Amino acid sequence: MKCEEAAQLVLALCEGEQIPRDAARHIGSCTECLRRLQEYCFLGAELRRLASLNSTEDSPKVSWNAEPRRRESWWHKGTRTMRIPRAAFALMLAAITTLSAGIMFVRAKEKNKWLYFEVHARSGPHMVSGTIPAAPDGISDRHIGPFSRKEGDGTIAIEINFRDLNAGMEKLGIRTLWIPGRVGGQKANEQAHAQPERELWFTPGEMLSIPVEGYGAIEVTGEFLEKLPEDLRTGMYPREESFRIVPPVFCLSGDRVLSSVDDGGGEFSRGEHYFAYHSPGEGWFLIAGNPFEGAVRGTVRWNQIKFSLEGRTYLLLTGAPILYGESFVWVMHYPQFQFTQEFPSYYFAQAREAEPDMTFGDVKHLTETLLQLKGMGASSPRATMPRVATH
Amino acid sequence: MADDRELWERICSGDSHAFEGFYHETAPRLRNFLRQLLPAPHAAEDVTQETFLQMWRRPNGFRPERGSLRAYAFGIGRKRAAEWWRHHQPENQPERPEVSKDRAETNSLVSDVFERLSVDQKSLLWLREVEGLSYSELSEVLETPDGTVKSRLFAAREELRRIWHDKERAGGKRNEM
């Protein structure tokens, strides 16, 4: 064996790994290889000595309690015992989500479905970052801020509207304001919001420098993503092509809670499954991610499914986000359905009329199921036999 | 790993006491590492704080099965350091990293040699030799396959050794003069 061939194995030996017997024999008898081994060990030891000389300083005291937490904490709270009723918690979660979510999301169909962006202050510190749908879809509000950052000599505030996507560039509507001296964050935000909007084009992958009078420049960077970042999909949110139903699930119409379900739930494919909710006196609501004949379109946003039927608006609230962002759903209502023993093989038929319930099913069998339900409540089921769209 | 998983769960649930313990244990080591990558002590301090703030505010992405929580923190720190460089124009930076008085006093020959490695090589050697990260942890932190980690580690050690030899030879020649 030559020294060049043994060099990598010297490293392996230095790392404490086992090496072939002939290599060990060579290294043990070769002056050059032994020297390399000794030098690797020596330089490693010197590095550790250097580190030990520099590692004696204490870290500055930081109050971690004062820092705002990410939204995942709601998930943890939702799974613990609470002193407030679950209903109140679910409503609170929904309210906070609605009020605080300045960015609305939806599934985009383009290859680059998501835009990850970062905004940095003049000296480089991170101001805000996020992931939004790469293109407008008609229901999402791609709007950030206004938000502000206090600096030593004043406050910088910014508001960004991601207006359009054209030829791989994002059209931004931007409002900025630099306020020297001391000013409250809320006041700075209000004043920034009152500024005229500037229109700028941002190319993801490149840096956009936005000059702000009296301040310097704010920098916007970002990139298109094909998939939602892993850290956003884990924990609180289901997988990208899924809906997740986490109890408690509340069914509301107007300001009235019609019913609630405290157990069950699960994660299901948007394209392959449907979710069905039974509210006593109202019947079954079948909800799918793709359109099917006779269904009305509704929206699902975070932990809310909203739809209107026969002049009434319904809202299903769940204990945790159904998806990351926002999307459409299609809903079919079966108010006439009554409990019966005639179709015991069907889950729907087994549900008790007086009790709320929910279930999931495969859209492949939806046609058959709907036909069965129609048979219970409609005179001519075949005339309106649903057909699940294939996308 | 089980302890890290438990600690992570506590951090995710907002246990500031648990996070404070992790911070006090890890921050000096991370700062020390970042000082090797950044040109000034205050920059290393800023990036250290940003790293822990990110972990506290948005505790996402840690996979206990892929490595330790400490390695995860070093991975974030390394990315933050790269961001720091992106936002600081190279022409405004000193050609060689500024060395504080304290560091100058404790510098050994190897520290001078170490400074001459590329940032990537410094990261790799420091994380392996000083922090003792495993190959799989290095693979996570550096976002490269295990095999690449090994070959890069070999190249970094060889480069360190080559610079050290050059330095020694130059010192020898000066002594002879």
- pLDDT above 50 for A382: no
The pLDDT tens digits of the residues spanning B43-79 come to 898 899 889 888 887 777 787 777 889 999 999 999 8
Chain B interface, mutation test: which of A5, A17, A46, A117, most B Cβ atoms within 10 Å? A46
A307's tokens: 């739809």
C-beta of residue A366 within 8 angstroms of C-beta of residue A292: yes
Kindly determine whether residue B12 and residue A73, on different chains, have CB atoms separated by under 8 Å.
yes
Task: For strands A208-212 and A126-133, give the pairing.
Answer: unpaired
Question: How far, CA to CA in Å, does A353 sit from each of A281, A283, A356, A373?
Answer: 7, 8, 8, 14
Which residues are bridge partners to A98 per DSSP? none
List the CATH code of the domain at B108-177: 1.10.10.10
Question: What amino acid occupies position A113?
Answer: K
From A55-69, A249-263, A312-326, B115-129, the region with the lowest mean pLDDT:
A55-69
The answer to whether the CB atoms of B110 and A59 lie below 8 A apart is no
Q: Where in chain B is the domain with CATH 1.10.1740.10?
A: 1-99
Q: Do A50 and B29 touch (CB under 8 A)?
A: no
Give the per-residue pLDDT at A339.
Answer: 40
Chain B residues 42-81 within an 8 A CB cutoff of chain A: 45, 48-50, 52-53, 56-61
Which tokens belong to A236?
């609180």
Tell me the CATH class for B1-99: mainly alpha
Helix or strand run (H / E) with residue A375: helix A366-377
Least CB-CB distance to A11: which of B16, B111, B157? B157
Least Cα distance to A90 among A238, A305, A279, A277 occurs for: A305
User: A67 touching B, CB under 8 A?
Assistant: yes
DSSP A290: S
- Packing angle, helices B16-37 and A31-54, rounded to 10: 130
Across the beta sheet with A154-166, the strand order is A143-151, A154-166, A169-180, A198-202
- CB contact at 8 A, A268 and A242: yes
> What is the SS3 assignment for A181?
coil
The DSSP line for B58-116 is: ------GGGS-HHHHHHHHHHHHHHHHHHTS-GGGS-SS----HHHHHH--HHHHHHHT
Which among A142, A151, A146, A149 has a CA at the least distance from the CA of A194?
Answer: A146
To the nearest 10°, report the CA torsion of A220, A223, A224, A229: -110
Interface contact A64-B19, CB threshold 8 A:
yes
Residues of B in contact with A8 (CB under 8 A): 154
Q: With 90 as the cut, is the pLDDT of residue A280 above it?
A: no
CB-based contact B111 A232, cutoff 8 Å: no
Task: Check whether A330 has a pLDDT greater than 90.
Answer: yes
In degrees rounded to 5, what are phi and psi of residue A257?
Answer: -85, 115
Q: How many CB pairs under 8 A join A and B?
A: 110
For tokens 């704010």, what's the residue? A218
Q: What is the mean pLDDT of residues A332-345?
A: 54
What is the tens place of the pLDDT at every residue in A18-50?
677 777 778 777 888 888 888 888 888 788 877
Q: What is the pTM of this model?
A: 0.42
A252 contacts A258 by C-beta, under 8 angstroms: yes
